[in-house]
Structure formats: structure tokens, C-alpha cells
Structure 1
């Protein structure tokens, strides 16, 4: 980050480290994916989970059913210094990215109509026993929710509307649901596919490979880790768990069998907090390892209009989706900051849900729109973003935050303009870095004959995304109420450090 008088705003950031020896779990859930026992959707979710375990060495176990997945990190994990917001946002973002990329593999004849979104939370399990209890709870929920879905959708297919079907089976326990399936629809629940009844467990195992043979013909063996997907009746049982070598090593063994779960006990492990009321919420997202990503995808240096406009397009989509809560966004390079109004009650101001939902939607949109901006370039691997939420108590401090980001944009662009001009002149990257150490950037710009003020304003000032104050209209909500909204979302490249823009657009930060 660039040094400036606005850097004090960093003191509002709150640490959210999950302390040792807690086991970190990340639970994610799809927003508004409502499908009746669609096997292809479940297989797509499983495929995404497998890629998460392949990508991140610290994730050793995943369990999922319907539209949710839980990922377990090894006990000793130091993944992103165990910061909850980083851990959650990265896993959610990567999962979303893979979901979009793999859609065609599972639905080759069905176009993905809109970017999927997942929200989630971090759960801190204080012991292996707590992890065992959590897994039993989720598999019990899998059984009951699947029974409910099987009955519900069959009743709808028979002619009931959704409310009638819901009311009909309200209060039914497992036994009643089983009987309903058998008596009314001639379906034996136990014969349904295991992926529906038991969920999917994705885990790392150890296998032995023969890598070569010695001169006398003896095999030389080597152990390697492999990812398996299984559908087990009791993933929280001692028998299943204690047969898994990697899980025993990285998470510990199960000592006793657990038969009953109190959901409130498990929910007490949730590592979540509500953000302070009546404060501005800023969700800042950053590309993960985008230096490598930009090199592999051959971005133009120091600035690639295609990449910047793709980021801007995603930011516009976020403002359009969260139109009731997000009033402004500012972006530069591979980062974007989204401003939620003081009165926002999005997800009851739960930091985990807000961050994961916004990061997930942004990532999905990025992958989905890649071809619009890079028609000649294939997306070679799933991009991901991390994020965090910070509260700012006053409009003055919020504006200082935005000024900090724009100052950072300006200084970084000066540096990058000089750096890549030196590289283009024949210097190595190391030589260019050494040449710029401790020097005055303005002086270097003059020495290199860079007409900085003639560079595109987007490079120098970043991108501001907001609603046009002129284009008003009424939106009719689902509950029958209407509210005024500024309809057109526009992208501008303007000075947001001074007061002129804010005086011309008082509605944006109107408290």
C-alpha cells in the first residue's frame, strides 16, 4: 500500500484469527439454487469440492449434500494466518469460479443464465469430538431434508401447489415421511441413490504407486495422496473415520460413538459476528495471486483495458444485484471496494455472509463474462478473490478510506508506468526494481519522458461505480411495497479525493 495521510483508516480493521487448536471449518451454501433431487447438480457440486481439495493442501475433508458443502482444514493449518474472512472468502470464491467453469461439463445443453452466488460462514471446532458432532449433525440434516424434498416435489407433481405441499408435510418426522413415500408413491426410500440419502464425502487418502523397477525387477514404491469421493452411511462413525489415514493424522481420531446431536451446541462454534449498526460497511475484495494470473493470461503491462473493464463490469453487476444496500464502488487493478449504506441490514449485517456472498457473485460474474472481454484468450484456470468487511463510523472517515485507495492507485500507477518503461528499454525486472528504489517517482517519470497526464484517466484515477442520480424509477417489491431507486449504474473515472464529485452527487452518501 502507498504511504499517505489517509492510512490511519487501517486502524478500523478488526483481526479475526481463528485461534489454535480450533479446527477450521468453512460452510458454504448456494443462494437460490432450488432443484428437486437433481443428480447432475450434486455431481457438479462434488466436482467443485474435489478441485478445492486439489488446490489447497490444507483442506483435507469435505462433506456436502443438496446445495451446501463443508470444508475441513487440518489442525495445524496456517492458511492465510487463519484469518476467518480471508479463509472463507477464498474458498467461497474458488468454489464459485469452478462451478461456472464446469457448468458445461454437467449441463452441456443448458446455458448458465446468471452468475451463481454462495454465502457461507466459518466454524471453529474446539476438538475432534466437536468435529464429529458437526459431521453427524450435517448428515442427519441431509437425510431429513432429502426425505422432505422427495415428498414435497412428488406432491407438487401430483397437483398440489407449493404452499399446499409444504403445509401437508409440515411437522412430519422421518418415519412419517418414509411412510408417505412408500404408501402414496410406492418409493422405498432406502433404494434411492446414496448420493441423495447420504451426501458426498470428499477426502484425501494415501495410495501406493510403483514408480519404477530396480535392475533385478523389484518394484520401487512411493506413497502419494489421492482424493476420493465416497457416499458413506455414517461418516461420523469410529469405523469409517479411523480407517482414513490422512484424516487421523491431520484431524485426529474419533474415540467414542455419538448418536445424538443438539444443533444449538454445534451452532455455538460459529465464528461470526454482526457488524456494528449505523456504520458504513466496506467490503474490499482483492485478486488472489493475480500477478501470476496476469502473466499466464498475458495481460498488457502496465495496464490492460480488457482486464480493467472486466473488473468494472463485475462491479456494475454487484451494484445491480445488491441495489438496496450497495451505494458506491471503487476499483483499481485487481481490487474493488463496495460501500454498503449505514442503514443496510443485508444478511442481518453478518460479516461472513456479506463478504462471502459479494465475493462469490463477483467471482462468478468474472468467469462468466471472461469471453466478453477476452474473446481470443481461454481462461486457463479458475481465478479467485479474497475479501473482508470493515466498518467506518462517519462519512468523513469513509471518504478518507476512498481517498486512501485513490492515492494508492495514483502512486502504484506511477511506479508501474516507470517500471514497465524500464523493462521495455531493455532492463531486467530486477534492474528496473533497483532503479526505482528510494527514488522520487515524479523525477523518474520526467527522466523516462512519460507524459503521465496524457495516460488514460482510468489508469490514473481508477474506476468509480454508482447510480445515476437522474434516472429514477419505482421498483415494486415482492411484498407489494414500492421504493424509489436510481436505476442506471454507471462507471466513471473521476477525482473522489476532492469535494466536487460528492457535492454533485449528494445522494450517494446521504445518511
Structure 2
């Protein structure tokens, strides 16, 4: 990280380590998969191909991350059990869960065509993830029994439900018929009415799928004389068992005994609330700004393998921006996002109740969707490049208590963008000139900003004329686009459409936030305030003000001066400008010309300096 005066914001990051000797289990499940299965016409109650796709993705996880030693999945859910001594990303819950869900999502999208060659992926799927911190091997055993019991209960119910629907009943009628029925009654219904022996259905449907690693002897190469060279290696395999939490099943697999330990007793049933108490829940502090920051994992290698242009690949950055736009559009609580290189920060509004402010739910949903869109949109930006392996991201959530600290966080990221980009631009110019990478690093060691600018000028590069996206990163936010329609002999009519903007600009200086006050500031418009300030001149200054109720003092320090001026005109749309500069939006210029000199229209412009306004002067326009 680059050093700057804003680095103090790192102190707001909170560690979320899962301490030894707790077992780490990551549970993922499809986000909105009921709709996803309907849109993609999955077979009911079980689509074997869709389940095989889930299993294939899970196997890829075990191959990518050796610390995952046991997996269990059914429907749109999978649980990943890490070996007891794992130090995977130093056991940080947010890192662990976000990496697993991101990689799983990436593989799911990439393998879709392999399993559904005749079905188009109509939109980007995504998953939730959470960490369960199992305090002992007995808790892990209870967790596995709970999940397999859920698999059986849900599958038996859904099998009955869809058989009833197939025979002509509506879904509500079928649900009413099944209400309160026991397991035995459901089995009798299937056998008596539909001649289905539930115990003979595909075990993958009834029991779920286990994936574990077994040691096998494999031929890795052949000697010159043709004789094979054999090596012992671990291979993932899928098994189906009636009771994965049983002592008989577990203790028969030496790999599980070695990495996790043995089950000493069989257990008959488990209370779900008991297992849920071990969920690693982190509720983010209320009334704080939530920032979800995601970073590409091993993107140095990824960019090399996919031959990204150095030091900046415009298409790769535009792909990142497109993913961020999709995330902002999907989750309305995100009010601003900022990205550079392979990272993006998403700011959620201060009063957000998104997923009840559960960190794991928020982080995993954003990371998973971002990853999914990255894969689905790859061909839009790299027409001639194949995606050679699944990219993935990690994520974390940090809370900032005030707008000032939040803006310092964003300033820190933009300062980092500038310093890193200037360094990388110099570095790659030196490499292109013939220096080795180590020589270029040594040459740049200890150089300051001015030194680097002089160096770039030797290569004919004016750093300040490089594309703003490279130097300043990308800012994404919702804003209103004013559309003005003019008709002959008619008064001008204006309309505002809210859309997502992508800009490459300086977000450290206050001018950006002054021009877009609604991103971070919410101004309540109340009747008592209007009656208090409507009949007098209102002077706004660079001090920060916001109206409050009549029972308190009229102004309190919260907002910047353009916000107050816009508030005056939100309360009373038309005002006379006595002092200062009022900048009109380009699309609203025709509307502004219809007003007499000295009047301003709040919906069509904003102040760009200290201003003095006076309301209730409309008679001058009509008199």
C-alpha cells in the first residue's frame, strides 16, 4: 500500500479470525435459486444435470484449495470442511468465505455450457456464504447430521409436492394437502398414489453428495525405457451415504481421521438451533457507512496468463467497471463505488438494513455477483481471448462512522491509485527500454513523484495527459439526468431520470461531492422548515448546514453549501440570485434561457460558489 495521510482509516478494519482449535466450515447456497431454476427450466423436483454441475464445481474447489478435505452438498447448497490445522488465509472468516464463494461462482458460470449445452445462461447466478465455527468434532458431527436431515426432509416433501402438481393440483392445493403430514404418510402417498418407492430413488436426491479425498497411485510419466513412474497422490471422489454423520461411515475413511479426527458415538437427532449458535455471525455496527472492498486474488498471474496490456489494460478496467455497474444496479443500498486495477469498493448508505447488516451475507452476495458478471461479460470485452481458468476475488466489510472518515477512505484509495499507477507506468517503460524487472525496481527505489514525472518525459510521456481512468480510477454512482423538452407556444417541461454514471475524476477534492450532494447526504424536506425560511433572504456559505425541525436550532453542521442551496429550491423551486455563481446543466440550458436575468431554477442547476438567494419573487416573472 502507498503511504499517505489517509492511511489511518485502516485502523477501522476489524479482525475476524476463527481461532484454533475450532473447525472451519463454509456453507454456500444459491441466491434466489428458486427463480433461477424456474427461468432456466430445471426439472422438478430434482434436476440431475444441475446437481452434477454443483458437484463438479465442488470438486474444483478441493483441487484448488487443498485445505478443504470434506464436502457435502444437496440442491443449491454445499458445505466445505477445512482440515483442523488449516491456516488458510490465516483463518480470517471474511477472506475464507468470500474466496470460496467467489471461486465456486466462477467455476459454475464457466462450466454451465459443459452441462447445459443447449441452454443459454440468461442472467448471472450468485451465491451466499457463511462460516460455521465448529468448536469440537462433536459439533461438526451434529452440523453434518443437520444438513443431511434437511436434505432428506426437503427432498421427500418436494417429491410429493411435484407429483401432486403433475396429477393436476395447484401448488397451493398440494401444499395444503401436505401440511402437517409425517414422513411415513408422505412415503405412503408416493407409493399408494404414484407407485414410487422413495427408497429406490436416486441416492443423490435422497442423501446428497459427499466429496472426499482418497490416496491413489497414479502414473505421472514414463522413463526412457518405457517403464511408468508412479506417485501417490490425493484424488477427489463423490460418494453417497445414508448417514454421513455416522461413526461407521466416518471412521472408515483414514483421510478424515487424519485431518479432522474420529466420531466416538452415533447421534440420533440434533437441534438446529444448537448448530446455528456456532454460525460466525458479525452484525455490522448500526448508523455507520458500510464499505465492501473486493480484490482480485493472484491477479498478477491472471493478467500475465491472459496477456493484459501493461501497465494498464483499458478493456480489463472497463470489464471491472461493467461488473461494478451491475452490482450497483442489483443492490439499491449501494450509493457509491470506486475502483482501480483489480479492486473495487462499494459504499452502502448509512441507514442500510441490507441483509440485516450481516457481514457474511453482504460480502458474499456482492463478491459472488461481481465474479459471476466478470465471467459472463468476459467475451464482451475480450472477443478473441479465451478465459483460461476461473478468476476469483476476496472481500471484506469495514464500517466508517462519519462522512469525513468515509471520504478519507475513498481519498486513500485514490491516492493509492495515483502512486501505484505512476510507479507502474515508469516501471514498464523501463522494462520496454531494455532493463530487466529487477533493474527497473532498483532504478525506481527511493524516487519521488517529481522524479518519476521527469523520467516519463524522457520517454515522451506527460503523465497528466494519460487517460483519467488510469490516473484517477473509476467512480460509479446514481444521479439524476435532466431531460428538457421544449415545444412551440408551450412552457418548458422538465423530467429527471435516475441512472448510473461512470466517471473518472478527482474525488479527493470537495468539488466532486459539492456537485453531487445527494450521493452521501440525505436532506429531509419538512413543512416547518419551509415556513421558517421561505420569506427571507437565505445566504449559504462554505460552512456546512442542514435544516432541522423548529423545535431545535435552525441549522446544524452536516452538509456542504450546494446541498443547502439545493434544499432552498427543493422547498421553493424558483429563487432570485443576488450574489454568487449558479451553474446550469447543459441539458437544462434551454429551460434556463426562458427565465429572466437573475433567477435560478433548482431542478436545472447547482451553485458553484457561495451564493445569496431570495425566494417568493415569482411576481417579477409574471408582472
TM-score (norm 2): 0.78
Query: Which residue does the alignment assign to 1:5?
Result: 5
Measured in 1, the distance between the counterparts of 2:320 and 2:425 equals: 20
Query: Which residue does the alignment assign to 1:364?
Result: 372
Answer with 294-303 or 272-281: which moved more: 272-281
Measured in 2, the distance between the counterparts of 1:95 and 1:471 equals: 42
Matched, 1:451 2:459: no
3-state SS of 2:377 partner: helix
Matched, 1:198 2:207: yes
Matched, 1:501 2:512: yes
Match of 2:140 among 131, 134, 153: 131
Match of 2:390 among 382, 386, 392: 382
Query: Which residue does the alignment assign to 1:282?
Result: 291
Matched, 1:343 2:351: yes
Structure 2 counterparts to residues 40-119 of structure 1, below 5 A: 40-119=49-128
Q: Deviations over 1:434-489 (max 9, x none)?
A: 111111132122123130011000001100011122369xxxxxxxxxxxx96411
Measured in 2, the distance between the counterparts of 1:70 and 1:156 equals: 31
Name which one, 1 or 2, has greater alpha-carbon Rg.
2
User: What's the offset of the Cα at 1:215?
Assistant: 13
Measured in 2, the distance between the counterparts of 1:496 and 1:67 equals: 41
Match of 1:254 among 260, 263, 267: 263
Measured in 2, the distance between the counterparts of 1:509 and 1:486 equals: 19
User: What's the offset of the Cα at 1:360?
Assistant: 0.2
User: What's the offset of the Cα at 1:500?
Assistant: 1.2
Measured in 1, the distance between the counterparts of 2:303 and 2:199 equals: 50
Structure 2 counterparts to residues 461-472 of structure 1, below 5 A: 461-470=472-481
3-state SS of 2:81 partner: strand
Answer with 219-228 or 187-196: which moved more: 219-228
Measured in 2, the distance between the counterparts of 1:87 and 1:147 equals: 33
Measured in 2, the distance between the counterparts of 1:444 and 1:457 equals: 18
User: What's the offset of the Cα at 1:211?
Assistant: 6.4
Report the CA distance shift for 1:161/1:280 in structure 2 as closer, same or farther (over 3 A).
Answer: farther
Matched, 1:425 2:436: no
Q: CA RMSD in A?
A: 2.1
Measured in 2, the distance between the counterparts of 1:215 and 1:117 equals: 49
Query: Which residue does the alignment assign to 1:480?
Result: none
User: What's the offset of the Cα at 1:219?
Assistant: 8.8
Structure 2 counterparts to residues 403-422 of structure 1, below 5 A: 403-422=411-430
User: What's the offset of the Cα at 1:220?
Assistant: 7.3
Report the CA distance shift for 1:395/1:161 in structure 2 as closer, same or farther (over 3 A).
Answer: farther
User: What's the offset of the Cα at 1:159?
Assistant: 3.1
Query: Which residue does the alignment assign to 1:150?
Result: 159
Q: Deviations over 1:146-174 (max 9, x none)?
A: 01111122223333333333333233332
Contact 1:471 1:488 (8 Å CA) reproduced: no
Aligned pairs, number = 499
Contact 1:206 1:245 (8 Å CA) reproduced: no
Contact 1:469 1:505 (8 Å CA) reproduced: no
Measured in 1, the distance between the counterparts of 2:227 and 2:390 equals: 41
User: What's the offset of the Cα at 1:240?
Assistant: 1.2
Measured in 2, the distance between the counterparts of 1:149 and 1:469 equals: 46
Measured in 2, the distance between the counterparts of 1:136 and 1:279 equals: 39
3-state SS of 1:468 partner: strand
Contact 1:124 1:271 (8 Å CA) reproduced: yes
Report the CA distance shift for 1:215/1:83 in structure 2 as closer, same or farther (over 3 A).
Answer: closer
Answer with 182-191 or 112-121: which moved more: 182-191
Contact 1:60 1:247 (8 Å CA) reproduced: yes
Higher relative contact order (CA 8 A, sep 6+): 1
Report the CA distance shift for 1:398/1:298 in structure 2 as closer, same or farther (over 3 A).
Answer: same
TM-score (norm 1): 0.94
Measured in 2, the distance between the counterparts of 1:39 and 1:99 equals: 15
Measured in 2, the distance between the counterparts of 1:214 and 1:49 equals: 34
Report the CA distance shift for 1:216/1:119 in structure 2 as closer, same or farther (over 3 A).
Answer: closer
Match of 2:315 among 286, 306, 309: 306
Measured in 2, the distance between the counterparts of 1:232 and 1:135 equals: 12
